[in-house]
Chain A
C-alpha cells in the first residue's frame, strides 16, 4: 500500500535533557544533540546528506551545516505544527526510502522556558500566516489567547457530549508523573504525584487545571534515519519505521477548530490512525505501549478513542485508576513521562521514548516491547508512527 513502510529505520538518538534554563543557545543544543545522535549511530557529520527541521525552529540548516562541518546535503524537509515530530520522521524516511539521501538528521531545539531566543521573528516574509490571522482576528480580541484556553474550548464540548467531569482527567497526569518520576532525563525525576494532588491543583482556564497542562522547558532532540539496509552496519539495533503518516482534514486548524459541525473529537487522529495501522499491517490490539500527545491531559482519552483503543466516550474510563495505562497494564502510555511527566518538547521526546522502548533502554521498560505507536498533534494536523524492533 504505502511504499515507504519498512524501508527506513531510526539509527541514532541525541537528547539534551530538560531544564528551566539550558544556559545555552538553541543552536548549540541542536549541535550537541546531532553530535550525540551521530555518535550513537557511529556516523560523522560528512555522512549526513539530508536535514529535516521544524518550520518554527530557529536553527536553520545553514547554521547547523556550518557549525558541524557537514557539507554534502541533497535533501531537506520541514514540518510545522505540533504534529511535526512524527511527520519529520516521515520526511526523513521518504528521503532515504526514495534514494534521494543516505543519512538524514532531524532535530528540534527550543528554549521555551528561559526564552533565550531571537525575537522578533526575522523570517524573510515577515508576515503572519493565514492560520495565525484566524487566531489574531477572531479569537485574540476576545481574550482566547493561551493555547490552554483554546484547547479547553474543545474539552468542554467533549465533556458535555460524553457526560465527563474534569476530575476524571486526573489519571492521565498521575500516571505520566509516575512514569516520569523514574526518568533522570526529565523535569520530575523522583517527583510523582497522586490523584489527590491533581484534584487539589488549581483551575487555570476552566475546565483545565494546572496539572492538565504541560510546562514550558528548554530542551533539544536529534535523530538520524537511514535505510534498513544501511542500518544493519551501524552501532545500534535499528528501530524500523513500519508506519508513518500525517493527517489534515477540511476545517483543521491548530487547536482552533471551532467551525466544523462536531468539535468534541480529534478527527485528524482518527483519520491518521486508520492509515497508520493499515501501513504497518497491525491493529490497536497489537499495541502494548504507546506515546500519545499529552500536551494537555484530556487529549489522551480523546486519542484513545480516535485511534481505536476504546469506543467513543470510553477514554476516561480506560484511564480510570491508572491500571490499564501504566507499565504492566494492557496499554502502557507515555512511559518516559511524556509532556506532562518528563518535559515539553512538542512531542519529540515521545519519538525518543518509542526508540528506547524498542531498544530495551527505557526507564519504565515494557517487557518485550517490539511495537510502539507514537501520536503527535492532537487538536490540529496530526501525525503518527509505528516503530518496531523487527521488520
Chain B
C-alpha cells in the first residue's frame, strides 16, 4: 500500500452523526453505500438530512458498484502543508463514481506520479485502526 501513517500521531476520526451513520456503518462492513432519496430516487454524497431535489427526509443507503474514475487529484509533497500523521508524499483524489456521485479518498496502490484524470478505479477498504476503516481506491482494469 502507498500511504504511510506515522505512528504516534492519531488520524482524525470522521465525525459521524445521525445523518451520516449509514455511510460509515457500510464502510465499517467493507461496503460502499450512498444516500438515496426514497421519494424521488436522487443519489447524493455527502450525506445530508434532506433530499435537495424533493426535500424528503426519507432516505435509504444503497450499495455502490464501487467503480469510478479519478476526477481530480493532488499530491501533498511539503510536510508543513500536509497532515502530520501521514508521510509525504501522499495523494488525495476525487473519484467520480459510475453512479454519478463524487467522493474524496486516497489511492491504495498507485503512486502519485502514476495517477491521471480519467484513470479507472475501484473501491477497497483499509482497516487502519480498530475504530477506523476508510474507503480507498485501487486501479481498475477495463
Residues on A close to B: CB < 8 A? 23-25, 27-28, 31-32, 35, 45, 63, 66-69, 116, 118
Contacting pair B19 A25 (CB below 8 A): yes
Contacting pair B19 A68 (CB below 8 A): no
B residues 45-95 touching A (CB-CB < 8 Å):
48-53, 55, 57
Q: Name the B residues within 8 Å of A69 (CB-CB).
A: 51-53, 55
Contacting pair B55 A28 (CB below 8 A): no
Q: Name the B residues within 8 Å of A31 (CB-CB).
A: 49-50, 55, 57
- How big is chain B's contact interface, by range? 10 to 19
Supplied contacts A31-B50, A31-B55, 5 more A-B pairs, CB within 8 Å: A28-B19, A28-B50, A28-B57, A45-B55, A68-B50
B17 CB within 8 Å of chain A? yes
B129 CB within 8 Å of chain A? no
Chain A proximity mask over B16-28: 1 for CB below 8 Å, otherwise 0: 0111000000000
Residues on B close to A: CB < 8 A? 15, 17-19, 48-53, 55, 57
Q: Name the B residues within 8 Å of A23 (CB-CB).
A: 18
Contact partner, B49, options A45, A67, A116, A118, Cβ 8 Å: A67
Contacting pair B15 A118 (CB below 8 A): yes
Contact partner, B52, options A24, A25, A68, A116, Cβ 8 Å: A68
Please, how many angstroms separate the alpha-carbon atoms of A67 and B52 in the complex? Answer: 5
A19 to chain B minimum Cβ distance, whole angstroms, is: 15
Count A-B contacts at CB 8 Å: 44
Given known pairs A32-B57, A68-B55, A69-B55, the reply for A27 and B49 (CB within 8 Å) is yes
A70 (CB) vs chain B CBs: closest residue: B52
Please, how many angstroms separate the alpha-carbon atoms of A27 and B52 in the complex? Answer: 13
Q: Name the B residues within 8 Å of A116 (CB-CB).
A: 17-18
A64 to chain B minimum Cβ distance, whole angstroms, is: 9
B56 (CB) vs chain A CBs: closest residue: A35
Contacting pair B18 A28 (CB below 8 A): yes
Please, how many angstroms separate the alpha-carbon atoms of A69 and B37 in the complex? Answer: 13
Contact partner, A63, options B15, B48, B55, Cβ 8 Å: B48
Contact partner, B55, options A25, A27, A35, Cβ 8 Å: A35
Q: Name the A residues within 8 Å of B50 (CB-CB).
A: 28, 31-32, 35, 67-68
Given known pairs A31-B49, A31-B50, A67-B50, the reply for A25 and B18 (CB within 8 Å) is yes
B20 (CB) vs chain A CBs: closest residue: A25
7 smallest CB-CB distances across A and B, nearest first, come from A28-B49, A69-B52, A31-B50, A67-B48, A67-B50, A25-B17, A35-B55
B19 (CB) vs chain A CBs: closest residue: A25
Q: Name the A residues within 8 Å of B57 (CB-CB).
A: 28, 31-32
B17, B18, B19, B49, most chain A CB atoms within 10 A: B49
Contacting pair B55 A24 (CB below 8 A): no
